[in-house]
Amino acid sequence: MMYLILRPVVLGVMFLLLPCIAMAGQATEFRVWPSHGVLLDTTGELSVHDILSEKAEWATMQNTHSAQHGYQTQPAWFRFTISASTDKPEQMYLELGTPFLDYVDFYFVQVTPQGKNILMHSVAGDQQTFLSNVFGHRFPVFPFEVAQTGDYQVYLRVQSSSALIFPMNFHVTNGFFAEEFKAQAFYGLFFGMMAVLAFYNGYVWLFMRDRAYLYNMAFILSAMLYQASISGFGSQYLWGQGSFLNDKGYGIGILATIFFAGRFAVRFIDLRNRLPALAKFTDITVSIFGLLLLPVVVLPENQILPVIYVMELLICLYAIGALLHQCMTGNYWARYLMAGWSVLITGTLFFVASQMGWIAHNVLIEYIHAAGLALGNVMVTSALAARMQRERSEKNKAMKKVLDLAQEVTELTREKEQIAASARDELDRRVDQKTRDLSIMLEQLKTSNEKLEHATLTDALTGVGNRRYLDNMFPEMIKQCQQTRTSLGVLVIDADHFKRINDEFGHIMGDECLKKIAVILQRFSRRNLDVLVRYGGEEFILLLPATDEGGVLKVAESIRHHIQYASFWCNDQRIPVTVSIGMHAGVPAAHVTAESLLVKADEALYQAKKNGRNRVELYRARYESANA
């Protein structure tokens, strides 16, 4: 149990180190003054020339490059001062750390004794074309060049229906791309972990039909939705600028996350049986968040999100109180949930506090929020695994109890034959009672065996089927193809030089390569009848019913191509991973066996290895004679 808790804690420490590294600054000969000016244009009519006239009254924000002005109906102006101490031209970048700004005007101004000269003007925002976002960046980014010694000023005019709460960061070229690489790595790890956790919960739910896993999967996917919204990766890679999800995905994600989290918690800690009143109140509370989905879609953001932030703060405090109460009353699983959600709720409270203006908002808060979500879900999923282990232990205890009861029934039956007729009725009653108890225990044992059967058909490393699953499915698939006279494709897929990968990069990285190969193979086995298993070591088998020889060959080549060009990395070194594939396709003969089909596909695999690896070979009858 302690191992299940320490493992996600280590992952959480790794998560928190990434944003700390990402916050490190770079030395430069260009100094951006630590304070900046702010001017709220209450009339909405100020032009850049009015701003440059020095008649405007600017408010000075000390030691911060973060906008913290909430919802504004009128434009806001920001002013930054840059001092250059070298004549060497330098490309710089201003990054506005939010994807939710509607209209942004950028002015780069040189300050001279004769006055202020506008050197550059660019526009950005999700309500207009990103004319200056030459990188297709997830945030508005403005590149500009400081060409000579002197003072410069940057002016921003920002107008948006979203809250003006976002960091504003200046970078030189190397620093800009280095920071973005770190952010991509952090969020890549975040979304990868969350996707794996969602898949695991969905897969377990599919076999066990326990809705706790379904709710947890929906909770994780909802959290990924609003993290994709606030990090900008959703608009960059998924739904694009100006779409419905770009405007509403953030609010929808928050509400869905809280709704499904509440549903999951009630089932996971068995609150309906332990404290029905609290369970009912929790259901009603989270249902309110579900009902707020319609106002989020219909109403402007500035009317509904502040209300949601307050409710989110209250539900976090309520969750802490409810879990503490259950922990104190001896709820075993509430302790697991408290351990996992404590980091999750902490990150959420920091984020909500920054959005409500209680603390200064910066990119580190967003990283802590995402890290808390990932770490909390890793710990909760570990708790679900622990619960499965405990159910298995209880099944073993139940089996022992059944055996003891069976022995006791036998002894009572023997005693019944020896006791006089006067005691026969009482003995019959006792035997009947024990028999009923035995029936109940046998039914419980049957249920436990069915759950264990699901677990024993899955490969623990890759999550695909195992050899036992293949032994169950292959004969049935052959029989079905014989009855329908349809072709059956058999692919034997083996990673090339896998021992060399284990020796050079370590067995842990070798396991990660096998997991990724399994993920790629699952893309090609999406039909309900397709069967994908890990046969052993680095070898996989894919069965494709109702697929002719040409279709099987096309799938095999696609698999080989995808794996060859997939990204397998160890630190900064790419791992060369390829596969050789042997295939057999055809309508199974009347007396054909699964073993004979595997032998033929394996013969083709042998030829693929012999002919140079990283290739697909179709079984030919001559292979048998050649090997003989």
CATH of the domain at 517: 3.30.70.270
pLDDT of residue 446: 76
Question: Do 118 and 232 belong together in one domain?
Answer: no
Expressed as residue numbers, the domain containing 484 is: 467-618
CB 623 within 8 A of CB 607: yes
- Name the pairing type of β-strands 30-32 and 76-84: antiparallel
The model's pTM:
0.59
Q: What Å distances lie between residue 318 and 157, 285, 345, 460, CA to CA?
A: 40, 10, 11, 37
Question: Do 291 and 353 belong together in one domain?
Answer: yes
The C-alpha atoms of residue 621 and residue 628 are separated, in whole angstroms, by: 12
Does the residue 125 lie in any domain? yes
Task: Find, among 534, 530, 533, 535, the residue nearest to 551 by Cα.
Answer: 530
Does the residue 380 lie in any domain? yes
pLDDT of residue 627: 54
Instruction: List average pLDDT for each run of 10 residues in the chain, which is 628 residues long.
Output: 45 49 48 83 85 80 77 89 85 87 90 87 76 69 88 90 86 86 89 91 86 90 89 82 76 91 89 90 92 90 88 91 90 84 85 83 82 84 79 81 85 79 70 76 70 76 91 93 94 94 92 94 88 93 94 95 92 91 94 93 94 93 56
Q: Can you name the residues that pair with 109 across neighbouring β-strands? A: 118, 153
Number of domains in the chain: 3
Where does a domain end: 390, 416, 449?
Answer: 390
Residues in contact with 492: Cβ distance below 8 Å, sequence separation at least 6, in sequence order: 535, 539, 540, 541, 581, 582, 583, 598, 601, 602, 604, 605
User: For residue 325, what are its two tokens?
Assistant: 């109460």
Question: Do 149 and 199 belong together in one domain?
Answer: no
Residue whose token pair is 């300050």: 111
| CA dihedral of 56, 60, 66, 68, whole degrees rounded to 10 | -80
Where does a domain end: 343, 364, 390?
Answer: 390
